[in-house]
Amino acid sequence: MAIIEAQEITKVYRLGDIDLNALNGVSLRIEKGEFVAVMGPSGSGKSTFMNILGCLDKPTNGNYFLENIDIGDLNRDELAAIRNKKIGFIFQGFNLLPRTSAIENVELPMLYDGISLKERRQRAMASLKSVGLEGREDHHPNQLSDGQQQRVAIARALVNDAPIILADEPTGNLDSKTSADIMELFVKLNTKSKITIILVTHETDIAAYSKRIIKFLDGRIISDEQKKRL
């Protein structure tokens, strides 16, 4: 059973009188435990595709199954619940809440899952520990380095035990040393915790950490290659 199955997905944006085809029939299967890098120039449709994979958007046509659930059938709140339980988001700009401590940022997904304060604290603490941020739980984002902020975001993505992590250029704002650290963390999560990771990047050396590279151009997949990791 594929964890992600996209069938002939199209996405059309209306801009005034012009229809803009962001995706022209994309089909894709991703199995549980894969580590996929999505590449392509800007405007190639990879961001649109990631938004659909992340249940932030719905396809115009075609079907998208996430763990055999047809996303097209779900309403706004049901999509929110899927994002909450199944998907951990990691963004280029970290997207942490400002003026909010690291631990409270990590607690946020559990807040929307109706988990008690005590359990939230416990699990957020454990999650921060797993990304190597023990002792930083009361720091606010502006008191943390970029790399540490991205680790907080990863802890937040992990805390609800989501089977999928969607990372949109997670190293785009980081220097090469920190980038390598973060990528090593992803590799560890993928091999040890069997988390499915889908990563958007346009740097080949970042893509090299993955096991499969999918390239987008003009709203289509132009190449999809499995590779053996060195």
- The CA-CA-CA angle for residues 23, 26, 30, to 5°, reads 130
Please return the burial class of 119, using the count of CB atoms within 10 Å of its CB with bins 0-12, 13-18 and 19+: exposed
- Indicate whether 123 belongs to the interface with other proteins (CB under 8 A): no
Options 54, 59, 147, 219; binder of other proteins; rule CB under 8 A: 54
> Which are the contacts of 171, defined by CB distance < 8 A and separation ≥ 6?
150, 178, 179, 182, 183, 201, 203, 206
Site for other proteins in 177-206 (CB under 8 A): none
Site for other proteins in 73-92 (CB under 8 A): 76-77, 80-81, 83-85, 89, 91
- Indicate whether 20 belongs to the interface with other proteins (CB under 8 A): no
Q: Which is nearer to other proteins, 141 or 209 (CB)?
A: 141
- How far is residue 12's CA from residue 139's CA, in Å, rounded to a whole number? 43
DSSP annotation of 96 reads P
Q: Which is nearer to other proteins, 100 or 193 (CB)?
A: 100
152: number of CA atoms within 13 Å, CB side? 30
- Indicate whether 149 belongs to the interface with other proteins (CB under 8 A): no
Residue ranges in contact with other proteins by CB under 8 A: 51, 54, 56-57, 76-77, 80-81, 83-85, 89, 91, 95-100, 108-109, 111-114, 117, 156, 160
